Amino acid sequence: MFKRIRTRLVLVNTAVFFAILIFICGILYGFTRQQLLSRIDFSLYAAAIPIERGFLPRNRLSTDANVLPIHPRFGQLPTTYLIWSGEGKLLFQLPSGEFTQSEVSAFHQRLNTKRPFTAMVQGHSFRVLNVAFRDSRNLFPNLGTVQVIRNIDETSHELSILLWIIVATIGFGLLMVMGAGLFLAGRALVPIRKSWDRQQKFVADASHELRTPLAVIQGQAELLLRHPERTVEQEAGSVGTIYDEARRMRKLVDSLLTLARADSNQLELDLKNVSLSQLFDSLSDMFMLLCEQQSLQLDLAIEAGIELQGDEDRLRQLILILFDNALKYTPAGGRISISCKCKGNSIHLAVADTGVGIASEDLGHIFERFYRGDKARSRQTGGAGLGLSIAEWIVKAHRGKLTVHSSPGTGSTFQVVIPT
């Protein structure tokens, strides 16, 4: 898929570049051509002036070449004059014998063209200007036409060289753009590809995680349906399992939704002045109860009056995730220590335990989605490997930092630093 996108990107890029290049080069070529030809045209007009002004016999058209004075300046230029009668008959050419009969007829075809034009005759380029033949008093319209013709092979050659240079430049430019486009598109697609892969993995993992509780619920429901005569009390086991799995699924779906919304920046913090001291106060009873149930010792060291601008619900969720992990991964007899204090411009919150700790090869991955250090234990404890991803997002959303120090067998400490 990315190969196709890359190719399409490069093609679109190249096409746009090609269009721009053609446009610029077209203007460049057109302008240069226009400049060169207008200089020639100017000289043609200049060469035509004596004829226009009527260096011809007064009142009538002469066929005598001698009456057409060649201006000394024009005489030096390779200009040829074809003098046509009003009926379109070639009267003579000057210098005579410059063009053959067939060449002359090529010019004759465009005798009525008003503006200067370029004619290709026998492989040579000529610039031609038709000048109406007038007597000096302008008494007789359409007395004939003089074609002022100049060979512009040299100019055409220069223009064709320019054209080749432009074509070569465009070709070379296109190759460069394609090469650069391939390289840049490849580089630009790296983060997109990574994010796509991450997303794909996320969806695959999520589906996998959802399948397990769903399968259990389905199995238990089928069991119940096999004995419709039994009471709920008799089937309390199956009903309980269905309830537990549904709760697990609900928790998982909530976590997935949180992360999905966080990814698409749809989750915004509801920022308020939050008293962390009060927040811990409200949670401490539950913490003590849970620790007691698991024969764990709890140390709470919460400074009074700690406040910050934050989202209370999210901060509560963060504390619960860290506490829940400490609870899950600390065996009976262990200790959980929670501290929260203000240092300078930031709040330092730490949840430490004397639990199983985290293996060094897992430490770099625990914040990844669905990553579980000890797979068997995590499944047992009901964790899907999303808790720390959410915790990290909450801390980052508060412009803070979440770090972990841990060694297997000794315990783990999760430290949160949030600027006030």
Binding site for ligand ADP (CB under 6 A): 325-326, 328-329, 353, 355-358, 362, 366, 371-374, 378, 383-389, 412
Distance CA 61, CA 54 (A): 10
Q: 107 vs 323, which CB is nearer to ligand ADP? A: 323
64-65-66 Cα angle (round to 5): 95
Q: How far is the CB of 188 from ligand ADP (least distance, A)?
A: 32
391, 321 Cβ separation under 8 angstroms: yes
Q: 144 or 387, CB closer to ligand ADP?
A: 387
If the CB atoms of residues 279 and 366 are measured against ligand ADP, the closer one turns out to be 366
**Shortest reach from residue 187's CB to ligand ADP, in Å:** 32
DSSP bridge pairs for 129: 148
Q: At closest approach, how far in Å is the CB of 280 from ligand ADP?
A: 18
- The answer to whether 296 touches 351, Cβ cutoff 8 Å, is no
In the complex, what is the shortest distance from the CB of residue 9 to ligand ADP, in angstroms, rounded to a whole number? Answer: 37
Looking at beta carbons only, is 310 or 355 nearer to ligand ADP? 355
Give CA–CA dist 325/323, Å, rounded: 5
Burial grade of 58 (CB within 10 A; 0-12, 13-18, 19 or more) = exposed
**Which CB atom, from 263 or from 374, has the smaller least distance to ligand ADP?**
374
Tell me if residue 296 falls in helix, strand or coil: coil
Minimum Å distance from CB 367 to ligand ADP? 7
Amino acid 81 reads Y
Give the integer Cα–Cα distance in Å for 118 and 107: 10
**CA 64, CA 271: separation in Å to the nearest integer?**
103
Cβ neighbours of residue 283 under 8 Å, at least 6 residues apart?
Answer: 316, 319, 320, 323
Q: Select from 217, 262, 269 the least CA-distant residue to 369.
A: 262
Closest separation between CB of residue 15 and ligand ADP, Å?
Answer: 47
By three-state DSSP, how is residue 181 classified? helix
Pairing of strands 117-121, 90-94: unpaired
Residue nearer to ligand ADP on the CB measure, 116 or 387: 387
Closer CB to ligand ADP, 106 or 210, in the complex: 210
Contacting residues for 399 by C-beta, under 8 A, at least 6 apart: 418, 419
In sign, the C-alpha dihedral spanning 156, 157, 159, 163 is positive
CB of 370 to ligand ADP, least distance (A): 8
In terms of CB distance, is 144 or 385 closer to ligand ADP? 385
Minimal distance, residue 362 CB to ligand ADP, in Å: 6
Cβ-contact 321, 387 below 8 angstroms? yes
My answer on whether omega of the bond before 95 falls inside 30° of 0, hence cis, is yes
Instruction: Specify the residue, 85 or 413, whose C-beta has the smaller distance to ligand ADP.
Output: 413
Nearest-angstrom CA–CA distance, 66 and 73: 17
Which DSSP helix (H) or strand (E) runs through 137? none
Instruction: Give how far Cα 320 sits from Cα of 243, 323, 333, Å.
Output: 22, 5, 21
Alpha-carbon span 138 to 69, nearest angstrom: 19
**Taking the CB of residue 350, how many other CB atoms lie within 10 A of it?**
18
Which one, 293 or 410, has the nearer CB to ligand ADP? 410
Provide, rounded to whole angstroms, the least separation between the CB of residue 325 and ligand ADP: 3
| Shortest spacing between CB 376 and ligand ADP, in angstroms | 10
CB of 257 to ligand ADP, least distance (A): 16
Nearer to ligand ADP, 46 or 404 (CB): 404
